[in-house]
Amino acid sequence: MTFLTVQTSPIEGQKPGTSGLRKKTAVFREPGYLENFVQCVFDGTGGAAGKTYVVGGDGRFFNTEAIGTIIRMAAANGAKRLIVGQNGILSTPAVSNLIRKNGTDGGIILSASHNPGGENGDFGVKFNAANGGPAPEKITDAIFARTQGISEYRIAPDDAGDVSTIGNYRLGDLQVDVIDPVADYEELMRALFDFDAIREMFEGGFRICFDAMHAVTGPYAKQILEGTLAAAPGSVINAVPSPDFGGGHPDPNPVWASELVAIMSGERAPDFGAASDGDGDRNMIMGKDAFVSPSDSLALLTAYAHHAPAYSGGLSGVARSMPTSQAVDIVAERLGIPCYETPTGWKFFGNLLDAGKVTVCGEESAGTGSDHVREKDGLWAVLLWLNILARDGRDIVQLRRDHWRSFGRNYYSRHDFEEIPTEAANALMNALRRRLGTLAGARVAGLTVNEADDFAYADPVDNSLTEHQGVRILFQGGARVVLRLSGTGTQGATLRVYLGRYEGPGGDHGQEVQAALSPVIEAVERIADITKHTGRNKADIIT
Ligand code: G1P
Ligand code: ZN
Instruction: Give 10-62 pLDDT, tens digit per residue.
Output: 999 999 987 899 999 999 999 999 999 999 999 999 999 999 999 999 999 99
pLDDT of amino acid 347: 83
Residues with CB under 6 A from ligand 1: 18-19, 113, 321, 344-346, 363, 365, 367, 486-488, 496
Q: What is the pTM of this model?
A: 0.95
Q: What CATH number is associated with residue 199?
A: 3.40.120.10
Q: How far is the CA of 278 from the centre of ligand 2 (A)?
A: 6
Q: What is the atom index within ligand 1 of the atom nearest the CA of 489?
A: 14
Number of helices (H) and strands (E) in the chain: give both, helices first: 17, 27
Q: How far is the CA of 77 from the centre of ligand 2 (A)?
A: 29
- For atom 9 of ligand 1, the residue with the nearest CA is 365
Q: Who surrounds ion ligand 2 at CB < 5 A? A: 113, 277, 279, 281-282
Mutate to test the pocket of ligand 1, among 96, 324, 325, 488 (most ligand atoms within 8 A of CB): 488
Q: From 349, 383, 407, give the residue that closes a domain.
A: 407
pLDDT of amino acid 2: 87
Q: What is the atom index within ligand 1 of the atom nearest the CA of 494?
A: 14
- For atom 3 of ligand 1, the residue with the nearest CA is 345
pLDDT of amino acid 1: 80
Query: Do 36 and 150 share a domain, yes or no?
Result: yes
3-state secondary structure 241-290: CCCCHHHCCCCCCCCCCHHHHHHCCCCCCCCEEEEECCCCCEEEEEECCE
Q: How far is the CA of 114 from the centre of ligand 2 (A)?
A: 5
Alpha-carbon radius of gyration of the chain: 23
- Which residue, among 307, 303, 375, has the nearest Cα to 332 in the 3D structure? 303
Q: What is the atom index within ligand 1 of the atom nearest the CA of 321?
A: 9
Q: From 180, 197, 220, give the residue that closes a domain.
A: 180
Q: What CATH number is associated with residue 507?
A: 3.30.310.50
DSSP SS3 for 382? helix
- For atom 15 of ligand 1, the residue with the nearest CA is 486
Q: How far is the CA of 197 from the centre of ligand 1 (A)?
A: 34
Query: Do 161 and 233 share a domain, yes or no?
Result: no
Query: Do 448 and 460 share a domain, yes or no?
Result: yes
What number is the average pLDDT over the span 95-112?
98
- Angle, helices 63-76 vs 33-44, to 10°: value is 50
Mutate to test the pocket of ligand 1, among 21, 279, 412, 486 (most ligand atoms within 8 A of CB): 486
- For atom 2 of ligand 1, the residue with the nearest CA is 365
pLDDT of amino acid 447: 96
Query: Do 452 and 380 share a domain, yes or no?
Result: no
Residue 276's pLDDT band (cuts 50, 70, 90): very high
- Which residue, among 353, 346, 211, 363, has the nearest Cα to 272 in the 3D structure? 211
Q: How far is the CA of 489 from the centre of ligand 1 (A)?
A: 9
pLDDT of amino acid 136: 86
pLDDT, tens digit (0-9, with 9 covering 90-100), for 440-455: 999 999 999 999 999 9
Query: Do 391 and 469 share a domain, yes or no?
Result: no
Q: How many domains, in total, are found in the chain?
A: 3
- Angle, helices 396-407 vs 327-335, to 10°: value is 70
Query: Do 280 and 355 share a domain, yes or no?
Result: yes
Q: From 162, 180, 198, give the residue that closes a domain.
A: 180
- For atom 4 of ligand 1, the residue with the nearest CA is 345
What number is the average pLDDT over the span 420-439?
96
Q: Mean pLDDT of all residues in the chain?
A: 96
Query: Do 367 and 402 share a domain, yes or no?
Result: yes
pLDDT, tens digit (0-9, with 9 covering 90-100), for 119-134: 999 999 999 999 999 9
Query: Do 403 and 413 share a domain, yes or no?
Result: no
| Residue 95 · residue 374 · CB < 8 Å | no
Query: Do 427 and 414 share a domain, yes or no?
Result: yes
Q: How far is the CA of 213 from the centre of ligand 2 (A)?
A: 12
Full residue range of the structural domain in which residue 57 is found = 4-180
Pairing of strands 290-292, 283-287: antiparallel
pLDDT, tens digit (0-9, with 9 covering 90-100), for 168-202: 999 999 999 999 999 999 999 999 999 999 999 99
From the candidates 91, 96, 111, 113, give the one annotated as an active-site residue.
Answer: 113
Query: Do 79 and 96 share a domain, yes or no?
Result: yes
Query: Do 124 and 77 share a domain, yes or no?
Result: yes
Cα distance between residue 86 and residue 92, in whole Å? 14
Query: Do 329 and 355 share a domain, yes or no?
Result: yes
Q: Which ligand places an atom closest to the C-alpha of 365? A: 1
What number is the average pLDDT over the span 198-208?
98
- For atom 10 of ligand 1, the residue with the nearest CA is 345
Is 113 considered catalytic here?
Answer: yes
- For atom 11 of ligand 1, the residue with the nearest CA is 488
Q: How far is the CA of 112 from the centre of ligand 2 (A)?
A: 7
